[in-house]
Structure 1
Amino acid sequence: MKISIKREDSHEIYDVPLQDVTLLEILNEIKNKIDATLAYSSGCRSSVCGSCAVRVNGKEVLACSYKAEDGDVVEPLLNVPIERDLVVNMDKAYGFNSKAKAYQSTIVQNIKLSDEDEKRNALQSDCILCSACYSACPVYAVNKEFLGPFSLTRVWRYVSDKREENPKDKIDNIQMDGVWDCTLCNACTLVCPQGISSKADIEKLRARSVMFGYSDPSFGSFDGGFGFDGSPSF
C-alpha cells in the first residue's frame, strides 16, 4: 500500500506492506520500520482523545479510526501552525474557548434537571476537541479571529443549560467574530467524528441572539433595492 504524506513543502510516498488497517497503524509502521523521523500525534487509539486528527484526501479524519486505502494523501490540519509533519499547534484554536466564554460561569443553585434537560445538550458535551471542524471551516481564510465551530458549539452547550444564571452574557460575547460570521456551509458537521452539528448549534445561538435584541449586522448595509422610504433605490 502506498501512502503519500505531506512533509514541509513536499509529499513523501511510503510503500507499506499492510492491508485492511487504520491510518494510525500505517503511521506507526512507517515510524517503527521505515522512517523514524516521521512526526504525528496519537493518544487513546479509540477515537476519544482526538489528538490524531489529520486530513486525508482533503477531508478531516481521525487516524485511529480511518481505514487506510492505497494512494491516500495525508496532510496536517488546516488553519493551525504546523510544528512538524502532521503535528500542529492547537494553542490558538483552544484559546477560542476562553475567548468565547465556552464554560459554565455562574450556576443557579438547587435546580433539578429532567431527562429532557440532560438530552438537550448531551451531544455537544461529546466534543473531543479534535479540531477537525476548525480545520474544515472556510471562514478562517478571511477572519482569523472567528471563534469557530467547536467553541460556539460549547457556548450553546452552556447557554442551553438552565442552570446557567446569565446566558445573555455569553450571547453578548459571541456577536463579534462569532455567530454572524459563520457561513452555515455545514463543512464542520460533515467532518465531526462525534456527529455534532456546529451549524445547527450556531443557528440556535442566532435565534437566541435575536431573542436578546441582536440581528445579523450585514442586514444593516443592505436595503433590498429599496430606499428607506420604500421607494426603489435605482
Structure 2
Amino acid sequence: MEIKILRSGNGEYQTYNVELEGATLLSLLNHIKTKIDPTLTYSHGCRSGVCGSCAVRVGGREVLMCEYKPSGGECIEPIRNARVIRDLVVEGSMVEKCNRAAHASGEKMDGSALSAGEMERITVQSDCILCASCYSACPVYAVNPDFLGPFALTRVWRYVNDPREREVSAKMAAVQANGIWDCTLCGECVPVCPQGIAPKQDIMMLRTKASMMGYQDPHAAAAFGGGLDFGGPMF
C-alpha cells in the first residue's frame, strides 16, 4: 500500500510503501515510524477514537488516524488553521483560546439536578473530544483568524441550553463579535465531527436566541445602511 505524508521539513509529500492490509492509518504510521523512518512525527493517545489527538487530513478531509483505514494512494497532511510544530503535529492552543473568548464553559451554575429531558438536550454537545476537526474544516479562518470557531460556539449553545447556567446573557454577548454572525453556515464542520455533533445547527439556534434577546446580525444591518427599520420607506 502506498501513502503520501506531507513533511514539514521541506513542505513536500514523502511516499511510503507499507504492506499491512486492513490496518488503521495509525497502525500504518506506527509501522513506518518503527520500521522505515524514525523521523516521522505525529500525535496519538487513546487509540480508540476518544482523545481526539490523532486528527489529520486525508485527501482533503479530516479524520482520526485511529479509526480511518486507508485503501492506498491517499495524501496525509496536518489539520488546518493551526500552527504546524512538525509533520502531522500541530499546536493546539487555539481551542483553549477560542473557548475562553467565547465563555464556552459553565461559569455560574446552580446545583439542581437535571431531568432526563433536560440532560438529553445537552448530551450531544457534551460529547466533543477536542480533536479540532471542525476548526480545520472551517473556511471562515481564511478571512477572519479571530473567528471563535465551530466547537466554541456549539459549546456555548450547550451551556446556554442548560437550565442550571446563570450567565446566559454574558455568554450570548461574548459570541456576537467574531462569532455566530460570522459563520457562513456552509456546514463543512458537520460531516467531519467523529462524535456526530452539528455545529452549524447549534449556531443557527444561537442566532435565533440572540434575535429573541434583541441582537441583530451586524452584516445584515450594514446592508441596509447601518440599521434595520422596516417601518418606513427606504431611499
Q: TM-score range by the shorter chain?
A: over 0.9
Match among 221, 230, 234 for residue 233 of structure 2: 230
Task: Give the structure 1 partner of residue 59 of structure 2.
Answer: 57
User: What do residues 38-85 of structure 1 show as CA deviations (whole Å, max 9, x unaligned)?
Assistant: 000000000000000000000000000001111011000000000000
Cα offset, 1:165, TM superposition: 1.0
How far apart are the structure 2 equivalents of 1:126 and 1:93?
15
Q: TM-score, normalised by structure 2?
A: 0.94
For 2:34 and 2:18, locate their aligned partners in 1 and report how far apart those are by CA, in whole Å: 12
- SS of equivalent residue, structure 2 residue 214: coil
Distance 1:178 1:69 in 2: 38
Deviation at 1:212, TM superposition (A): 1.1
Counterpart residue number, 1:192? 193
Find out whether 1:26 has 2:28 as its counterpart.
yes
CA distance in 1, matches of 2:67, 2:138: 22
Q: Which runs of 5+ in 1 are unaligned?
A: none
What is the letter of the counterpart of residue 175 of structure 2?
I
- For residues 79-118 of structure 1, the aligned pairs below 5 Å read 79-109=81-111, 111-118=112-119
- Report what 1:15 is aligned to: 17
Counterpart CA distance in 1 for 2:35 and 2:97 is 37
* Partner Cα separation in structure 2 for residue 93 and residue 12 of structure 1: 29
Q: Which residue of 2 aligns with 1:174?
A: 175
What one-letter code is carried by the residue in structure 2 that aligns with 1:220?
A: A
Q: Does 1:219 align with 2:220?
A: yes
- TM-score when scaled to structure 1? 0.95
| Residue identity in the other structure for 1:150 | F
Counterparts of 1:94 and 1:108 in 2: how far apart (Å)?
Answer: 24
1:145 is matched with: 146
Contact 1:146–1:178 under 8 Å retained in 2:
yes
Equivalent residue letter for 1:118 = M
Q: Which amino acid aligns with 2:52?
A: G
**Does the 8 Å contact 1:80/1:93 carry over to 2?**
no
The percent identity for this pair of structures is: 52
d(CA) in 2 for partners of 1:170 and 1:94? 16
CA distance in 2: counterparts of 1:95 and 1:153, whole angstroms: 15
AA of the residue aligned to 1:6:
L
> Alignment partner of 2:6: what SS?
strand
Q: Provide the secondary structure at the position in 1 that maps to 2:208.
A: helix
User: Where do 4+ consecutive residues of structure 1 move more than 6 Å?
Assistant: none
Which residue of structure 2 lines up, in the alignment, with residue 4 of structure 1?
A: 4
Distance in 2 of aligned mates of 1:97 and 1:22: 31
Deviation, structure 1 residue 96: 0.8
CA RMSD of aligned residues (A): 1.4
SS of the aligned residue for 1:189 comes to coil
Contact 1:22 1:67 in 2 (8 A): yes
In 1, the alpha carbon distance for the partners of 2:102 and 2:222 equals 26
